[in-house]
Amino acid sequence: MSYNPSQNFLIEVAKGNIAGHSLVNKFGFNDSVGSTLQPVTDGAVYQTPTTAQSLEVVSSSANDTSAGSGARTLEIQGLDASFAAQTVTVSMNGTAAVAVTGTWMRVFRMRVLTSGTYATQSVGSHAGTLTLRGASAGATWATIGLTASSFPVGQTEIGCYTIPSGYTGYLLSKHISIESTKVPNILWFRRENADDVAAPFDAMRLFERHYGSASEITYKPPAPAITLPAKTDIGAMAYIATGSASVSVEFQILLVVD
């Protein structure tokens, strides 16, 4: 379908009517940002290895299994050894770890795909905390957890992303929400050529800082704020001088096939 200039461009992209273009919406949450700079993600981690890793997934509940009442299958989205986009479906086995197909350089989203329970306002789609980690009980890569009131959220909250090979990204907007009365500092970083495996490496560089932030910040320029070449890491990190705070971020990227 050809593009009609009178129509909203991004709506047409979202509908799949603009060849070679797609939208990425990312959101992250960290409920305990402290005095140490850390990613705005559930679990305060975004793994960025220089060699592809084997992964496994496990639950804290035996009910998250292929025939159980909790999560039955998960979908994992990220990048393979060549930084190409890959998506894999995993069948859960409760508290027993299940190997994830392929090897991974990045994981930027994990979500419950199917559940043994029809979710409502009082019961969710998984029973325990779901953890993606390195093979053989290695380092944590991502978690799908529960709210403060123990309600399952069904998806990771990762305020980071990496542009797949074969694409260029354009940062369209950013939004920050901060726990009332707290004033954390939010720093946005980028790193190009993330596939470099030997020094000298491309630097990880600050491209925007929100110092002493309070309440809510929205940034939506009339044109893309930043161009992100293939294999560029981008994400938000935060810290607070004293105490701790909850911070959430959201950003949107336009992906264009090179």
Kindly write down the DSSP assignment for every residue of the chain, as one continuous string: ----TTS-HHHHHHTT-STTEEEEEEEEEEEEE-SS-EESBTTS-----SS-B-EEEEESSTTSBTTSSSEEEEEEEEE-TTS-EEEEEEE-BTTS-EEPSS-BSEEEEEEEEEESS---SSS-S-SS-EEEEETTT--EEEEE-B-TT--B--B--B-EEEPPTTEEEEEEEEEEEE-TT---EEEEEEES-TT--SSSPPPPEEEEEETT--SEEEE--SS-SEEE-TT-EEEEEEE-SSS-EEEEEEEEEEEEE-
- Work out how many domains the chain is built from and give that number: 2
Show which of 103, 120, 144 is a domain's final residue.
144
Query: Is the residue at 3 inside a domain?
Result: no
197: domain range? 9-44+159-257
Q: Assess if residue 50 is contained within a domain.
A: no
The yes-or-no verdict on residue 124 having pLDDT over 90 is: yes
- Is it the case that residue 4 has pLDDT exceeding 70? no
pLDDT at 6 over 90: no
Query: How far, CA to CA in Å, does 112 sit from each of 16, 116, 128, 154?
Result: 24, 11, 12, 5
Q: Please tell me whether residues 132 and 61 are part of one structural domain.
A: yes
In a domain, 136, yes or no: yes
* pLDDT surpasses 90 at 7: no
Residue 244 lies in a domain: yes
Together in a domain, 87 and 135: yes
- Same domain for 164 and 207, yes or no, is yes
Does residue 98 sit in the same domain as residue 188?
Answer: no
Answer whether residue 100 is part of any domain: yes
21 domain-assigned: yes
The answer as to whether 2 is a domain residue is no
Answer yes or no: do 38 and 115 share one domain: no
- pLDDT bin (cut points 50, 70, 90) of residue 216 is confident
Q: How confident is the model at residue 2 (pLDDT cuts 50, 70, 90)?
A: low
Domain boundary among 111, 144, 177: 144
Statement to judge: residues 212 and 164 lie in one domain: yes
| CATH number of the domain encompassing residue 179 | 2.60.120
The share of the chain scoring above pLDDT 70, in percent, equals 96
Indicate if 163 and 253 belong to the same structural domain. Answer: yes
- pLDDT tens digit string along 15-39? 999 999 999 999 999 999 999 999 9
pLDDT above 90: percentage of residues in the chain = 84
The answer to whether residue 17 is domain-embedded is yes
